Amino acid sequence: MSKPVILQRAFDLSGSHFGPQTPPLLQRIYAARGVTSEIELERTLNRLPHPQALRGLDAALELLEQALRQQQRVLIVGDFDADGATSSAVSLLALQAMGFQQVDFIVPNRFEYGYGLTPEIVELGKDYQPDLIITVDNGISSISGVAAAKAAGIKVLITDHHLPGAQLPEADAIVNPNQHGCEFPSKNLAGVGVVFYLMSALRSRLRDSGWFAKNNIPEPNMADWLDLVALGTVADVVPLDATNRILVHQGLQRIRAGKTRPGIQALLDLSGRDRQRLVSADLGFAIGPRLNAAGRLDDMSIGIQCLLETDPYLAREYAVQLDELNRDRRVIEADMQREALEALDQLHLDEQQLPWGLCLFDADWHQGVVGLLASRIKDRVHRPVIAFADAGNGEFKGSARSIPGLHIRDALDAVASRHPELISKFGGHAMAAGLSLPGERYWDFVAAFDDEVRRQLSPADLEAEILTDGILEPGELNIDTAQLLRESGPWGQHFPEPLFEGEFFIVQQRIVGEKHLKLVLALDKGKRQLIDAIAFNVDTEQWPNPAAEKVSLVYKLDINLWQGRESVQLMVEWIS
């Protein structure tokens, strides 16, 4: 990858309304993220928007209340990622706490049934004899699946957050903030956020009707499931707007206080994370991948059972299975990445000659891991990437990852409109999508996708940029600043953790863990203020570099805890 363009984030404090309690550094950081007052940063639950603005909510509540009063059989149909797992867990736990006595869940095996509520899943679900199917984190594009359920006399409630197509399924109710005509102010809820809102509204409706008092049922505290909401929201990499920041912050607070599901605690233990120091990045990089590994390699039911389990010993057993699956996933992913890079090298193309929309395929690649591969290659070549695997029966399944400037789902929609015969099905978000296509049309799709990307992007879009929050002064490179930044999030997608740039003198440099560069740096030639830094996965042909006296870094300011002692550490994102 060529050297990225490093730019400082633009910010304007002229119209801001920060008080003296917000330090100037934070004011600058927040303003660069579009936040201009303390009100936008409040993280209490009473700042959440009201559920009533969700289109379809009343119809959904009617369905659920009728199902409860008649004790109908309810089947939750989930998705095979962390958002789907947490959505399934929240909906099942909440319904049971409100008095539902016959609630089950199924998760489509991605290798047999694919994504969403398909006719095949409906057929499988008939074994549970459901009166009502509730989809979580899927369903908005399940036209044929909903039709199959309705034909079988099963009512369908769709809860989803994915973007709808031109046609909606004929469900009995749909709750999705992204459906046309929905006035809910936050369009960025994850699937688990949508379910949390729906269950909160149901709890309120049942309370107002006297259901809990009449039936001697303790009124559930919705906050009990905020740990799951935080995990699913961060793991699904949805934008952390004001609503999602509240949900994630409140979930993190509960986990830190020890009020978390035994399965989440077990996953934290196995990943070596201290719950009392937990931040949103830990959910995204430590817990989420272990949960996702079940859906990628095996069956997400293992992950859901881990989240549902109340016995800490049994939860630990589930967590160990997930951890082992994640280790296997890492090995598979590393092999696939090596093969992909070798294939690119054999093309003998420089970055200017590469396709703008890059497609990769290998018959032996794992269907469950192609999304991770696409993400890794996208980061390396800075252009939209789709990685395909052979799904059998003449079908290829692909997972796409995009760069800023290209809405990948809309790009696939445009390809499908121009070439109706190329794509069997697709769906997704702005930055990630999935698709299936006939294997014999792969090369036709490769050309059509590249054409569409060239139609939508300019050469400047293919230049990688790193946006920083500027330079930290020597007096700011300390524990207090690091702690301030740590507590000022939660940070995440579209609300990125502060990133700084600077030049430092090298005092020591060495490789640890085979490919990680450990540095001791100084702020000046006198080496009066030393600071530790670590850069992960460096090019070991370039580092360590005994000839280098100075180094330019882009980094995050972090706190390293070693043998009970805290010290500042720079987490290096880019080094030169």
**173-220, pLDDT tens digit by residue?**
999 999 999 999 999 999 999 999 999 999 999 999 999 999 999 999
Check: CATH 3.40.50.20 for 49-322? Answer: no
Q: What residue ranges of the chain are covered by domains with CATH 2.40.50.460? A: 468-575
Q: Which residues of the chain form CATH 3.10.310.30?
A: 347-462
The dihedral through the CA atoms of 184, 186, 192, 197 has a sign that is: negative
Mean pLDDT value of segment 42-69: 97
Q: What is the pLDDT of residues 10-38, one digit of tens each?
A: 998 888 889 888 999 999 999 999 999 98
Q: Boundaries of CATH 3.90.1640.30 in the chain?
A: 49-322
3-state secondary structure of 170: coil
CA distances from 103 to 67, 145, 171, 315, 428 (A): 11, 20, 19, 21, 28
Kindly report the number of other CB atoms within 10 A of residue 168's CB atom. 18
Write down the mean pLDDT value for the chain: 93
Cα–Cα distance measured from residue 246 to residue 218, given in angstroms and rounded to the nearest whole number: 26
Q: Alpha carbon 575 to chain centroid distance?
A: 26
Prior bond of 544 cis (ω within 30°): yes
pTM of the model: 0.92
Q: What is the pLDDT of residues 78-92, one digit of tens each?
A: 988 999 999 999 999
For residue 181, the model assigns a pLDDT of 94
* pLDDT confidence of residue 349: 65
Quick one: 438 exposed, middle or buried, by C-beta within 10 A (0-12, 13-18, 19+)? middle
Q: What is the topology classification, in CATH, of domain 347-462?
A: Diaminopimelate Epimerase; Chain A, domain 1 (3.10.310)
Give tens-digit pLDDT for 289-347: 999 999 888 888 999 999 999 999 999 999 999 999 999 999 999 999 999 988 888 87
Measured between alpha carbons, how far is 352 from 531 in angstroms, rounded to an integer?
Answer: 39
Q: pLDDT category, 236, cuts 50, 70, 90?
A: very high
Fold (topology level) of 468-575: OB fold (Dihydrolipoamide Acetyltransferase, E2P) (2.40.50)
108-151: pLDDT as tens digits: 776 677 678 999 999 999 999 999 999 999 999 999 999 999 99
E strand or H helix that includes residue 324: helix 312-346
d(CA 9, CA 469) in angstroms, rounded, equals 6
Q: Is 74 helix (H, G, I), strand (E, B) or coil?
A: strand
How big is the CA angle at 66 (ends 65 and 71), to the nearest 5 degrees?
100
Q: How far is CA 222 from CA 51, 66, 193, 210, 247, in A?
A: 14, 21, 12, 17, 11
| The pair of three-digit structure tokens given for residue 66, joined into one six-digit string | 């009728």
Is residue 411 pLDDT above 70, yes or no? yes
Question: Which tokens hold the place of 240?
Answer: 């952390």
Distances (CA, A) of 10 to 150, 360, 467: 52, 36, 9
